[in-house]
């Protein structure tokens, strides 16, 4: 593999010194870029884009052609695992993901088994290999997966949900069934992320998008417990380097201490958590990633720079900060505003290192 020319991200995730604060954006390869929309049209639909390694590579690299980002993130979807389990993933226009066969009963759960990452999700591993080759050491590649709890919400609800009625009913009424589902998902995610690492991912992130809808007790039992299992089972050294792990629970700022105990290297923060408070609470244990409100990118360039400066100041001097948005970039953001953001992070962070 080509030698890594820019390893700021990997160093910052391990709380090692860097020259400037590294920056990447969740969903940086996506709908806000006209070149992405053009390629998606050519591919026909979203899953055809994900399942074609050449297309997935092109989409992954698109934002790097525009902005001096410090990482590429694999272009894929968090629902690839349930899809490989045979639940029939499809996308309704304007509705988001749907499953033809949701998982609603203990018998449905009994039928599930962990997919073989190279066989059943080979297109993802092929994409990782193609992207690594094409990156040629420019920046590191981040692999990712949804958390077991987050995947379970989609599988039980049959798609996106506002109230999580079905999965929470299962959680309170049939906890054993839900634990069985989460166990097979934790095995699946561990195998899937390890296969990404072996294929060339140099850091991995677990997206716990819906952990924040749980009560503290339920978060520990049904989300964190399974992320902990995954972290314990991941390959942490590959190609002669440490492979950092990032955990991100949206709306999970109240549980950072628990999350920091999992053995993860870094925690993602959304914009509802003050990064200075987070650093005071757990900065000695893990690196922090975040955490600008993505909606700031609708504001003027001057205001974007101001917000970047404020978050850098809140984090303060020293190592262990990866700048990111507090959630994915919105589809209606102008790419020029994203450029202002990325340049501002590099320029304004010099004083802190």
Q: Regarding beta strands 237-238 and 96-99, do their DSSP bridges make them parallel or antiparallel, or are they unpaired?
A: unpaired
E strands, 227-311, are: 237-238, 241-242, 245-249, 266-268, 287-292
Annotated binding site for substrate: 27-31, 77, 154, 209, 327
Annotated binding site: 27-31, 77, 154, 209, 327
Q: What pLDDT score was predicted for residue 95?
A: 74
Q: What pLDDT score was predicted for residue 204?
A: 98
The burial of 276, by beta-carbon neighbours within 10 Å (0-12 exposed, 13-18 middle, 19 or more buried), is given as middle
Helix (H) or strand (E) holding 143: strand 141-146
Domain 31-287 has CATH 3.40.50.2300: no
Q: What is the mean pLDDT of the chain?
A: 97
| pLDDT tens per residue, range 5-24 | 999 999 999 999 999 999 99
Q: How confident is the model at residue 2 (pLDDT cuts 50, 70, 90)?
A: confident
* Cβ neighbours of residue 226 closer than 8 Å, sequence gap 6 or more: 147, 148, 149, 182, 183, 185, 186
Q: Where are the domains of the chain?
A: 31-287
Active site (catalytic) residues: 27, 31, 40, 77, 154
Q: Encoding tokens for residue 261?
A: 């105990």
Distance CA 202, CA 22 (A): 15
| pLDDT tens per residue, range 131-155 | 999 999 999 999 999 999 999 999 9
Q: Encoding tokens for residue 103?
A: 């998982």
Closest CA to 45 of 4, 98, 81, 7: 98
What is residue 33's DSSP assignment? S
Closest CA to 195 of 266, 243, 265: 243
Q: Is the pLDDT of residue 224 over 80?
A: yes
């Amino acid at each position: 593999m080509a030698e890594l020319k820019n390893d700021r991200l990997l160093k910052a995730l391990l709380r090692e010194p860097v020259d400037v604060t590294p920056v990447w954006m969740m969903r940086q390869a996506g709908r806000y870029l006209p070149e992405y929309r053009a390629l998606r049209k050519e591919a026909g639909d979203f899953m055809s884009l994900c399942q074609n390694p050449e297309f997935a590579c092109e989409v992954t690299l698109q934002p790097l052609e525009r902005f001096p980002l410090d990482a590429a993130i694999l272009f894929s979807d968090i629902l690839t695992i349930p899809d490989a389990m045979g639940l029939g993933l499809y996308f309704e226009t304007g509705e988001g993901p749907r499953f033809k066969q949701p998982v609603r009963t203990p018998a449905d759960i009994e039928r599930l088994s962990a997919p073989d990452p190279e066989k059943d999700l080979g297109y993802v591993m092929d994409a990782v290999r193609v992207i690594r080759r094409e990156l040629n050491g420019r920046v590191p590649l981040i692999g990712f997966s949804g958390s077991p709890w987050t995947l379970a919400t989609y599988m039980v609800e049959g798609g996106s949900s506002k109230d999580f009625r079905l999965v929470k009913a299962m959680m309170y009424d049939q906890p054993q069934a839900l634990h069985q589902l989460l166990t097979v998902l934790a095995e699946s995610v561990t195998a899937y992320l390890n296969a990404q690492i072996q294929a060339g991912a140099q850091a991995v992130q677990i997206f716990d998008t819906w952990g924040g809808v749980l009560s503290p007790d339920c978060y520990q039992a049904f989300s964190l417990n399974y992320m902990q299992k995954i972290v314990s089972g991941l390959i942490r050294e590959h190609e002669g380097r440490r492979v950092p792990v990032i955990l991100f629970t949206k709306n999970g700022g109240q549980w950072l201490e628990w999350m920091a105990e999992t053995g993860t290297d870094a925690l993602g923060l959304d914009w509802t958590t003050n990064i200075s408070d987070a650093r005071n609470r757990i900065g000695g244990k893990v690196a922090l990633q975040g955490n600008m409100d993505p909606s700031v990118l609708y504001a003027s360039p001057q205001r974007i720079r101001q917000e970047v400066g404020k978050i850098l100041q809140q984090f303060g001097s020293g190592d262990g900060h990866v700048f990111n948005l507090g959630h994915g970039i919105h589809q209606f953001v102008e790419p020029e505003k994203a450029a202002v953001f990325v340049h501002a992070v590099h320029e304004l962070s010099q004083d802190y290192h």
